[in-house]
A and B are shown apart, each in its own frame.
Chain A
Amino acid sequence: MSASRLRATRFAPLLWVGPAVALIAIVVLWPVIIMIRTAFQHISPDGFILGWAGWRNFHYLWQEPDLSGILVRTVVWVVVVVAATMVISLAMAQLFNQKFPGRRLARWALIAPWAASVMMTSIVFRWALDANNGVINVFLYDIGLLHRFNSDASDWLGSPATAFPWMMAVAVFVSIPFATYALLAGLQGIPSDVYEAARVDGAGAWRTYRSITLPLLRPAFVVALLINVINVFNSFPIIWEMTRGGPGHQTSTTTTFMYQLKQSYIGESAAMSLVNFALVMIVVLLYLRVTARRGGEG
């Protein structure tokens, strides 16, 4: 093999993989560096860089009177939405794993919220919750749970105490399809002879589920859970379209708050982003650990 030929083989990977690496560098790695830089810069609302700011942007961020509420709400948002999604999806996966006529069609209907833009789904819910004639209110009125239209009781999105739970419900709604499909794939990976053995041993349905299905479903469950945590944490369109985080910042999470800060205080927004980014990083590292452990087993 000649020297030039050898060099060609050594650089071959770069030729095949290089474009992908370049794309990641431009769109993922470089923005992270710029974001870190921005967090320590003093930038005027109209975009001029006025110099370095040290930790001042973080300092301003900690001073935000709304920040503590936003942080608490973000934790509630992620924990409640992900927990509800995973519990409901466990049941849904079990249901859609059964054999019945029309199963394909039923599964297909389930993917609609996954395929559709979350932004448009959120707008439909905003419309359906309209205080005057939203279809959810019409239904609640018909079954006797709502007594008057255009009242405080029908204006779900007008008050944070009712708007936030509704938005969490929408987040669960759009998160269920992926989680269900991921768990369904996990269920289908469980060999049927394990169930056969349990049946021979006389195990009941609940016992079989607890001692066989759940433990064997664990890997799929953990992967679906972590992916969901990241998706739900980064969720922006639901809150943006339904309340814009308002009134005030009373229905904001750190993601929507970061976006609103960006409009005028981009340095502070970058500081908020860094906090968000660090949280995402922790989940990603968890994910990589789970992945690596399972890779080692396999």
Chain B
Amino acid sequence: MATEPPARRAFPARTLIFMGLAYLAAIFFLLPYVEMIIAALRPRDQLLDRDYLPSHFNWHSFIDIWGTGFGHALRISLEVAGGATVLVLIVAIPAAYYTARHRFRGRNAFMLLVLVTQMFQPTAMLVGLYREFLEFGMLNTVSALILVNAGFNMAFAVWILNAYVSAIPAELEEAAFIDGSSRIGALFRITLPLALPGIVTALIFTFISAWNEFIVALTLTTSAATEPLTVALNAYIGQYQVDWSHLFAGSVIATLPVIVLFALIEGKVVGGLTAGSIK
């Protein structure tokens, strides 16, 4: 508990114990990703060895994976995650701004709708999504994946941007009106720059969610031409044999940037995910 230290000793025993436990926990949670890297760097003739580390590391998988169609899947993932992020910002910014600044009929209904969307996951309505995009003729399209990922991640962006805009005094915008700025002008020149941390958080969060999304992509794509990374990596898992080297090289390339990106917004994510319940 947050008690004051009795004297100014550098490291009381308590602190040392907590520190040790916390470091152990931290290492424990990193282990699978360390093993992912080790497995990716393992020479292929040592894939069956019973040891923790191979005799030496080998970068081959990271080089020849580009000849296995990995680059194409990477590009699809970038298109899906990038497209979903842009779409989320386009629809969430005006909605978050307007609901933060105005009380109007249907506002509460809208907020409730957003909250419910956040609680739902595409998994629960997979069959509906599949039949819908089949009827639209949109199976195996990047746009279908962009739409679904944007739809299910929009709530987070609405909450977090709503909170940021609410915290910016409306007087700042009114001052801009007096200076002859239009509402849109004030939004772009005053409000959005001040809400930038919120926008960046929403942007990174949406990108990562869409990047990691698996079951919708698995359902809506059936050809390698439109499979994003999460689905395409499964091609290295054969019925009888698994190409572990490429599987893990691909996983490392797909995972490490995301962990770093997530660390940037780490402190704000819980707020966005539980905002609906706290407001």
> Footprint of B on A, CB under 8 Å?
12-13, 15-17, 19-24, 26-28, 30-36, 38, 47, 92, 95-103, 105-121, 123-125, 127-128, 132-133, 135, 138-139, 141, 149, 173, 176-178, 181-182, 184-185, 192, 195, 199, 205, 208-209, 213, 219-220, 223-224, 227, 230-231, 234, 236-237, 240, 255, 258-259, 262, 266, 269-270, 273, 276-277, 280, 283-284, 287-288, 290-291, 294-295
Contact = CB atoms under 8 A, between A and B. Distances in A.
A212 B119 CA distance: 30
A237 to B, nearest CB: 5
Given A116-B212, A177-B29, A280-B120, 16 more contacts: A23-B154, A32-B128, A34-B127, A108-B266, A115-B261, A116-B33, A120-B233, A123-B237, A124-B251, A135-B35, A141-B50, A192-B2, A209-B1, A219-B277, A223-B278, A273-B126
20 contacts: A13-B105, A17-B98, A21-B113, A24-B151, A27-B151, A28-B151, A31-B125, A95-B18, A109-B29, A116-B33, A123-B237, A124-B33, A124-B39, A124-B251, A195-B2, A227-B274, A237-B215, A255-B123, A276-B124, A294-B278
Interface in B239-277: 244, 247-248, 251, 254-255, 258-259, 261-263, 266, 269-271, 273-274, 276-277
Nearest to B279: A295
Interface size class of B (residues with CB under 8 A): 35 or more
Given A120-B255, A262-B130, A234 B123 contact: yes
A273 B14 CA distance: 51
A27 B274 contact: no
Among B158, B208, B211, B262, the one with the most A-chain Cβ atoms within 10 Å of its Cβ is B262
A223 B277 contact: yes
**Secondary structure dominating the interface of B:** helix
B218 to A, nearest CB: 8
Interface stretch (B60-68, B89-97, B167-175): B89-97
A110 B262 CA distance: 11
Contacts of B115: 288, 291
Given A38-B127, A288-B115, A290-B277, A31 B132 contact: yes
Contacts of B151: 23-24, 26-28
A151 B268 CA distance: 47
A16 B277 contact: no
Chain A to chain B: the 6 pairs with minimum beta-carbon distance, closest first? A27-B151, A35-B128, A31-B128, A115-B262, A16-B98, A109-B26
A96 B24 CA distance: 12
Contacts of B92: 20
A199 B2 CA distance: 11
B195 interface: no
B219 A262 contact: yes
B148 interface: yes
Contacts of B106: 13, 17
A106 B26 contact: yes
Contacts of B94: 15-17, 19-20
A20 B158 contact: yes
A199 B1 CA distance: 10
Interface of B: 1-3, 15, 18-19, 21-23, 25-27, 29-30, 32-33, 35-36, 39, 48-52, 87, 90-92, 94-95, 97-99, 102, 104-107, 110, 112-117, 119-121, 123-132, 134-135, 147-148, 150-152, 154, 158, 208, 211-212, 214-215, 219, 230, 233, 237, 244, 247-248, 251, 254-255, 258-259, 261-263, 266, 269-271, 273-274, 276-279
B26 A105 contact: yes
Contacts of A128: 32, 35
A29 to B, nearest CB: 9
A292 B50 CA distance: 55
B123 A24 contact: no
B228 to A, nearest CB: 10
A34 B128 contact: yes
A110 B123 CA distance: 26
Given A109-B26, A133-B48, A35 B127 contact: yes
B261 A120 contact: no
Contact of A111 (B112, B130, B215, B259): B259
